[in-house]
Structure 1
Amino acid sequence: MGDAFKDYAAGIAAGIATVLIGHPFDTIKVNLQAKDANKRHGPLHVTSNIVRRDGVRGLYRGASSSFLGVAAESSVLFGCYSQIKGMLHPSKEGDAPYSAIIPAAAVAGASVSLILCPTELVKCRLQMQDRESRAGGQRKYNGPFDCVSKTFKQEGLRGFYRGLSATAIRESLGNVCFFTTYEVIRKYMTKVLGGRPVGAPRVGTHSEPDSYLAMAGQTIKDIAVEGTTGIVSGGVAGIVFWAIVLPFDVMKTRMQTEQAVGAAKHGFFSTFHMIRKESGISGLYAGLSPTLVRAFPANAAAIVAWELAARALYENRA
């Protein structure tokens, strides 16, 4: 089994973990960001309404498309990042420099935007249709496949890439911040806590992954360092990602859900000015609290899943 396949397969595990932990927070965020959202209501009120109306399963509205989309996105993101970083820093001596981390993260982020844009469009429209039905309309979509079919009939293939510009900026800039933060914290914590976490340091380096093969000899301290480092580095990196790129995410959500609520279509800059005119700069940070609350556990889970999956795959040298 080639190293490239292992890197991409480990990314799928990260995506599944992200959706399981983070999708409910994402549903709340989308409801807060949408055009007809009631600005007086906060995340707790929105959560209460969703659970009261549809139960906990309502928080996973659109999750089926997310599982497919995020699994594919994470596979490309982590796989591309690992492979490009490995090509830019082929030596197994020391940690990768920023000259390898930053371009690898930027290219990986730009690549996944092509996958994320259509899948997030379907997810956002499914998450928003409950509010539309409460306003007197009927449900437009019976599920993700119905949403795909109707979007294609009404808007064509281009309709699935509404908000691509905002998505691409969010992913490129955001993942540079994410992976840089992750690598810095991982390096620092490993140095301070001692030991060496088994996982990401060897992913994508195309070297003999000694650390993966040393699992049997791990001490309790090694396991504790590994788990703590993955949780903290992934969680903090996720918070940094969203704190920086949330305005682009708000713009993306508005661009993707306008057609669903019958609003006029707007481009990148017109959407920015529209949000600023309606709600001020604070409107670009709609959904900030559930996004940041989601960021730590979802990204911590993603990093831990990625590192564990990579270790398991690299241990199997068949």
Structure 2
Amino acid sequence: MADLRTVNELLAGSVGGAAQVLVGQPLDTIKTRAQVAPRDMFKGPMDVFIQTVRKEGAFALYKGMLSPLLGIAGVNSLLFASYGLAKRVVTPFGELSLPQTALAGAMAGASNAVLASPVEMFKVRMQGQYGSPSDKRLTVVFREMWSEWGFRKGVMRGYWVTVAREIPAYAGFYTAYEYSKRKFAKKYGDQLPIWALLASGSTGGIAYWLACYPLDVVKSRVQLRKTPPVGTPVQYIAHELKEIVVESRSLSGLFRGLSPSLLRSIPAAASTFAAFEITREYLKDYTGV
């Protein structure tokens, strides 16, 4: 029974992940470029949008989508299945408290980083190209990273900062999501209307970014660099945080691109959870678990 329940979560997670990428990619591209572009290239997120569309066309907002679209089934399947298993590990008895939900979310986030790290790395490197004749296809980027740096320093570059990002991010994500769902359930019962699922997912998405954003900026910069980071994960994360503050002359550099991330989180997280919950309910009716 537990195995079939995990299979349902894997399948529903794949559907939710595909919805997330299709809905959220344009704003994700704006967010990444705001994080990693030279300071004098763009005036802000809106300028990123205007210049990208003007110089590269509207489809440039979907640059780098192939990597998450190919990998998102695995990433979100692992995330939702890990969260389901983590909940059962934290307590097999009844509904989790919100602190227990945060713990289960953190455990799921740590597991999720295994697949999220390479998917994010290739996405960031594609988004960090600005429409010049020398821009590379995903296959070329993959081949170069593999041949020059290998698996650990190439394909998995930024793994530990991804772990550091995912733990607080998904602790916040699931806590906010479950809190919102429970508030709605008190009024509407267990069968929530679709708008309530969308609102709960949006709340979770906003909490995700607020919990981890400076680490996401570090991750993007580390993954886009020509060479791998040096030192221990703690050392290179601390060094990168310091560099960001020095470059921007304030703490504001740690939050470059936050506004498109928050805007993206509303439709992307809403569609993810709505697709996940609807698919899981369908599979539950079909399989009985």
TM-score, length-normalised on structure 2? Answer: 0.90
SS at the partner of 1:90?
coil
- What are the residue-to-residue correspondences of 1:109-258 with 2, within 5 Å? 109-130=109-130, 133=132, 138-141=133-136, 143-157=137-151, 158-191=153-186, 193-197=187-191, 225-258=192-225
Distance, in Å, in 2 between the alignment partners of 1:65 and 1:37 is 26
> 1:35 deviation in Å?
4.6
Does structure 2 retain, via aligned residues, the 8 Å contact 1:35–1:258?
Answer: no
Alpha-carbon RMSD across the aligned residues, in angstroms, is 1.9
Does structure 2 retain, via aligned residues, the 8 Å contact 1:130–1:139?
Answer: no
> 1:162 deviation in Å?
2.1
Does structure 1 retain, via aligned residues, the 8 Å contact 2:98–2:179?
Answer: no
- The match for 2:269 is 299
Aligned residues between the structures: 279
Task: Tell me if 1:50 matches 2:19.
Answer: no
Letter of the 2:68 counterpart? S
Distance, in Å, in 2 between the alignment partners of 1:130 and 1:40 is 12
Does structure 2 retain, via aligned residues, the 8 Å contact 1:65–1:123?
Answer: yes
Task: Tell me if 1:269 matches 2:238.
Answer: yes
Task: Tell me if 1:287 matches 2:257.
Answer: yes
The 3 A distance-change label for structure 1 pair 40 and 49 is closer
Distance, in Å, in 1 between the alignment partners of 2:211 and 2:97 is 22
SS at the partner of 2:80?
helix
Letter of the 2:146 counterpart? F
Does structure 1 retain, via aligned residues, the 8 Å contact 2:37–2:128?
Answer: no
Distance, in Å, in 1 between the alignment partners of 2:128 and 2:188 is 47
- The match for 1:65 is 67
5+ long unaligned stretches in structure 1? 198-224
Distance, in Å, in 1 between the alignment partners of 2:37 and 2:99 is 40
> 1:54 deviation in Å?
2.9
SS at the partner of 2:190?
coil
5+ long unaligned stretches in structure 2? 231-235
> 1:228 deviation in Å?
2.2
The one of 19, 31, 34 aligned to 2:36: 34
Task: Tell me if 1:19 matches 2:21.
Answer: yes
Distance, in Å, in 2 between the alignment partners of 1:139 and 1:30 is 20
> 1:114 deviation in Å?
1.4
- The match for 2:83 is 81
1:179-219 Cα deviation digits (max 9, x unpaired): 0111111101111x32222xxxxxxxxxxxxxxxxxxxxxx
The 3 A distance-change label for structure 1 pair 146 and 188 is same
Does structure 1 retain, via aligned residues, the 8 Å contact 2:30–2:61?
Answer: yes
Distance, in Å, in 2 between the alignment partners of 1:76 and 1:156 is 24
SS at the partner of 1:130?
coil
Letter of the 2:252 counterpart? S
The 3 A distance-change label for structure 1 pair 63 and 37 is farther
Letter of the 1:32 counterpart? A
1:125-177 Cα deviation digits (max 9, x unpaired): 1111126x3xxxx5252x21211101111222122222222211110111011
Distance, in Å, in 1 between the alignment partners of 2:140 and 2:49 is 26
The one of 3, 7, 10 aligned to 2:9: 7
Q: Which has the larger radius of gyration?
A: 1
Distance, in Å, in 2 between the alignment partners of 1:50 and 1:306 is 32
Distance, in Å, in 1 between the alignment partners of 2:79 and 2:115 is 10
Does structure 2 retain, via aligned residues, the 8 Å contact 1:151–1:160?
Answer: yes
1:27-74 Cα deviation digits (max 9, x unpaired): 001111115243651212211121223322111101011112222111
